[in-house]
């Protein structure tokens, strides 16, 4: 049986860029949009044109130069926003206007200061207005997961009838847990009479670290579009990380029999490009794309990986574009790993020599945490200097410990 296709809606350039420290110049946004195109995302949300002239210009540049994916622009439920989004998307081959309005009583009464009826009218009018620019209109009910359920069902039914083809129900403040999300989407899809005329979408924030788990729960409940970002960047704790979602489906088809158009071998490059443009390093232990995601330091782990990588790796580094497994030499490393790294560096090491190298590596690692290839080469050269006999070699190890302890 063919697996269901999940639409990947990338919002790195909109929700992601909204996060403090992640703003990008127009040329950087364009370069990243090209990279997202290569990665295979279905939709690129390129910005929020009413927010600033630069945002509008960035959306327009992406819409003119990136042709394969649908290019989306965000707009509040008001004519001025929608007209600006429509103008920015003008050059696109395929464009989407994404209109949103908050639907929870908390947001309606405290932030927007309007009634539910006014909210419903604005939503319907805006969807109709956006349809004048494009047939592809998405409606988002901000703070959907904390909204009154009956009211949410009414507004969803009304905007689908008005012409919204995608209904996005965000967990705006990352409050839900996976069982909530599953039940929420199942109930709403069962209750809204015209639900079958729209694609349902999830947009989960990571305030409790559950954005990816919640998005997967949404898929299990019939959602077929996921909004996500590279490296999980986004407002506050961020959005669901695209690379984690995609690889969860790729690694566990038995539980998650769904497909995406993502070419996973470009994930690492995309993550690195974003990090370079924003000057924000990727967290070392970040799943899939972090520096340590395929690094093995503990001796037992290194030994296992050298014998059969599947012992400690559930996916191959090259599947996500990481060049090769990294065996990090550190104080937990075993002799096998040290020997393998020496061999990779072109040294054939005899058993007696390996013991000496190993001791030098551990001593150095105690001081400077990890031992680089350069350190290892220096250790081997020092031990092999011709005038040394075995007594001197011990001395030389002490020397190395001091001499290289500060990364010399
Ligand atoms: O988190 C949110 O609710 C949003 C909407 C604008 C889609 O980003
Ligand atoms: Zn958001």
What domain count does the chain have? 2
The pLDDT tens digits of the residues spanning 80-112 come to 999 999 999 999 999 999 999 999 999 999 999
255 with 322, same domain?
no
89 with 193, same domain?
yes
Is 243 among the domain residues? yes
Say how many Å lie between the CA of residue 239 and the centre of ligand 2.
7
Q: Which residue has the higher pLDDT, 305 or 174?
A: 174
- Which one of 233, 250, 278 terminates a domain? 278
* Nearest atom of ligand 1 to the alpha carbon of 102: 3
CB 252 within 8 A of CB 307: no
- The dihedral built from the CA positions of residue 59, 64, 70 and 75, taken in this order, carries a sign that is positive
Is 300 among the domain residues? yes
252 with 373, same domain?
no
189 with 260, same domain?
yes
Least confident of 1-5, 301-305, 315-319, 387-391: 387-391
Is 111 among the domain residues? yes
311 with 197, same domain?
no
Length of the chain: 408
Is 283 among the domain residues? no
The pLDDT tens digits of the residues spanning 347-376 come to 788 888 899 999 999 999 999 888 988 788
91 with 231, same domain?
yes
> How far apart are the C-alpha atoms of 348 and 351, rounded to whole Å?
10
Segment 285-307 mean pLDDT? 91
- Which one of 226, 246, 278 terminates a domain? 278
Say how many Å lie between the CA of residue 105 and the centre of ligand 1.
16
227 with 169, same domain?
yes
Q: Which residue has the higher pLDDT, 263 or 401?
A: 263
223 with 303, same domain?
no
CB 146 within 8 A of CB 180: no
Is 161 among the domain residues? yes
81 lines ligand 1 (CB under 6 A): no
Whose atoms come closest to the Cα of 173: which ligand? 1
Give the pLDDT band of residue 325 (cuts 50, 70, 90): low
- Which one of 278, 308, 330 terminates a domain? 278
CB 175 within 8 A of CB 140: no
241 with 315, same domain?
no
The pLDDT tens digits of the residues spanning 221-262 come to 999 999 999 999 999 999 999 999 999 999 999 999 999 999
Percentage of the chain beyond pLDDT 70 is 93
Is 289 among the domain residues? no
35 with 146, same domain?
yes
**Closest protein CA for atom 2 of ligand 1:** 172
How much is the pTM?
0.86
The pLDDT tens digits of the residues spanning 114-171 come to 999 999 999 999 999 999 999 999 999 999 999 999 999 999 999 999 999 999 999 9
Say how many Å lie between the CA of residue 197 and the centre of ligand 1.
22
> How far apart are the C-alpha atoms of 235 and 320, rounded to whole Å?
25
Which residues form the domain of 349?
295-403
Whose atoms come closest to the Cα of 169: which ligand? 1
265 with 308, same domain?
no
235 with 127, same domain?
yes
Is 290 among the domain residues? no
Is 285 among the domain residues? no
CATH number of domain containing 138: 3.20.20.70
> How far apart are the C-alpha atoms of 68 and 125, rounded to whole Å?
30
Say how many Å lie between the CA of residue 238 and the centre of ligand 2.
8
Residue 393 above 80 pLDDT? no
Q: How many Cα atoms are found within 13 Å in the side-chain-facing hemisphere of 253? A: 10
């Amino acid at each position: 049986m063919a697996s269901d296709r999940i639409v990947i809606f990338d919002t790195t350039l909109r929700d992601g860029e909204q996060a403090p420290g992640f703003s990008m110049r127009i040329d950087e946004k364009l370069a990243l949009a090209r990279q997202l195109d290569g990665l295979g995302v279905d939709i690129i949300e390129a910005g929020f044109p009413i927010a600033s002239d630069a945002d509008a210009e960035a959306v327009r540049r992406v819409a003119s130069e990136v042709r394969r994916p649908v290019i989306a622009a965000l707009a509040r439920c008001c004519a001025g926003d929608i007209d600006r989004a429509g103008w920015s998307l003008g050059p696109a081959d395929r464009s989407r206007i994404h209109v949103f309005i908050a639907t929870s009583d908390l947001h309606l009464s405290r932030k927007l200061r309007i009634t539910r009826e006014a909210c419903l009218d604005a939503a319907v009018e805006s969807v109709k207005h956006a349809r004048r620019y494009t047939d592809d209109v998405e409606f988002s009910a901000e703070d959907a997961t904390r909204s009154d359920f009956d009211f949410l069902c009414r507004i969803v039914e009304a905007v689908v009838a008005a012409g919204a083809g995608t209904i996005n129900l965000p967990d705006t403040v990352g409050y839900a847990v996976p069982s909530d999300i599953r039940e929420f989407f199942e109930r709403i899809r069962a209750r809204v009479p015209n639900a079958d005329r729209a694609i349902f979408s999830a947009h989960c924030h990571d305030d409790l670290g559950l954005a990816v788990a919640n998005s997967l729960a949404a898929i299990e409940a019939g959602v077929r579009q996921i909004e996500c970002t590279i490296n999980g960047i986004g407002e506050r704790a961020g959005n669901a990380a695209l690379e984690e979602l995609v690889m969860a489906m790729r690694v566990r088809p038995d539980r998650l029999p769904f497909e995406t158009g993502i070419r996973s071998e470009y994930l690492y490059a995309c993550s690195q490009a974003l990090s370079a443009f924003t000057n924000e390093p990727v967290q070392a232990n970040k799943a899939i794309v972090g520096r340590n995601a395929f690094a093995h330091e503990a001796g037992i782990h290194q030994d296992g990986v050298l014998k059969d990588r599947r012992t400690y790796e559930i996916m191959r580094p090259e599947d996500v574009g990481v060049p090769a497994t990294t065996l990090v030499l550190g104080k937990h490393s075993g002799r096998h790993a040290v020997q393998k790294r020496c061999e990779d560096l072109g040294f054939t090491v005899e058993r007696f020599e390996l013991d000496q190298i190993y001791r030098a590596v551990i001593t150095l690692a105690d001081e400077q945490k990890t031992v680089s290839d350069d350190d290892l080469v220096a250790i081997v050269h020092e031990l092999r200097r011709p005038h040394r006999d075995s007594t001197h070699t011990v001395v030389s190890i002490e020397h190395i410990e001091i001499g290289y302890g500060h990364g010399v």
